[in-house]
Amino acid sequence: MLIIGICGASGSGKSTLAENISSQLEGRALVLPMDGYYFNQINKTMEQRARQNYDLPSSFDLDELYEDIQLLRAGYPITTKDYDFSVHLRADRQDLIQPPQVLIIEGIHAFADPRLLAIMDLKCYVDADADVCLLRRIKRDVSERGRDLQDVCRQYNESVKPALDNIISKYRTLCDICVVGGGRNETAAAMITAFVEKRLNESSKKSENDCIA
């Protein structure tokens, strides 16, 4: 299984890039959003959940994410992990995810865990203007997650921007490819897809030669 990591700021276009690559690979790729692996906040009040800092690596259950990826690499299915941002609670389902040929892990802290970095065949950082990221985040959080503008701006100032400046932006030094201009960079998506196709073809030929031998 080939593993691609896509990292970058909130609203930079990570999901867009991941879905673009997955679409071009025509059923051979699976996008695994890191957002589904937030720790559950079920023991906290709604007010406490709303005030939680969701922009730090410690907000994610990285052990669970790593274990699921290891299961997929070993050929086993995993259950679907999800998160309901309107109430800040996990919304996991029992739907099974089968191991794909290509696994695309995308998230703001996709490069935070050295164990994940070690098994990624390609690491991509999506670099977009901070103002563009903020506008996308406002549009998404208001229309899809039931937030009001004041709350979105508060969260951006208190946790999103500091995390970007102090942590996320530094992940750029770990990437193999920096995708400039956000996830709609079609040239970058085509280049990444071509790399993946090449690696899949090489792996297929190796398997055929091993069988002949």
Find the mean pLDDT for residues 31-45.
Answer: 95
Total domains in the chain come to: 1
Find the mean pLDDT for residues 49-56.
Answer: 90
pLDDT of 206 > 80? The answer is no
Contacts of 61-64 with C-beta under 8 Å, sequence gap 24+, read 61/37, 62/37, 62/112, 62/113, 62/115, 62/116, 64/37
| CA neighbor of 13 nearest in space, from 173, 145, 188 | 188
Residue 135 placed within a domain: yes
- Residue with the larger pLDDT of the pair 211 and 145: 145
- Residue with the larger pLDDT of the pair 31 and 157: 31
Residue 209 placed within a domain: no
pLDDT of 213 > 70? The answer is no
Find the mean pLDDT for residues 187-203.
Answer: 93
CA angle 165, 168, 174 (to 5 degrees): 125
What is the pLDDT at residue 205? 77
What is the pLDDT at residue 207? 66
Percent of the chain residues topping a pLDDT of 90: 71
Residues 59-82: tens digit of each pLDDT: 999 999 999 999 999 999 999 999
Residue 118 placed within a domain: yes
Residue 183 placed within a domain: yes
| CA neighbor of 133 nearest in space, from 20, 35, 8, 41 | 8
Residue 207 placed within a domain: no
- Give the 3-state secondary structure of 148-184: CHHHHHHHHHHHHHHHHHHCHHHHHHHCCEEEECCCC
Query: Do residues 56 and 167 make contact, with C-beta atoms less than 8 angstroms apart?
Result: yes
Close Cβ partners of 174 (under 8 Å, ≥ 6 residues apart): 7, 111, 117, 123, 125
Mean pLDDT of the chain: 92
Residue 128 placed within a domain: yes
Find the mean pLDDT for residues 173-196.
Answer: 93
Predicted confidence band of residue 211 (pLDDT cuts 50, 70, 90): low
Which amino acid, 158?
E
* CATH number assigned to the domain comprising residue 96: 3.40.50.300
Find the mean pLDDT for residues 142-148.
Answer: 79
Residue 211 placed within a domain: no
What is the pLDDT at residue 50? 83
Six-digit token string for 146: 């039931």
pLDDT of 208 > 70? The answer is no
Cα 142 to Cα 9, 103, 108, 138, 148: the distances in Å are 18, 30, 20, 6, 6
Distance between CA 158 and CA 80 in Å, rounded? 30
Domain that holds residue 161: 2-198
Residue 176 placed within a domain: yes
Residues 103-142: tens digit of each pLDDT: 999 999 999 999 999 999 999 999 988 888 888 888 888 8
pLDDT of 185 > 80? The answer is yes
What is the pLDDT at residue 143? 80
CA angle 89, 149, 156 (to 5 degrees): 70
Find the mean pLDDT for residues 145-171.
Answer: 88
HSE-up (13 A, CA, CB side) for residue 138: 11
The secondary element (H helix, E strand) that includes residue 209 is helix 186-212
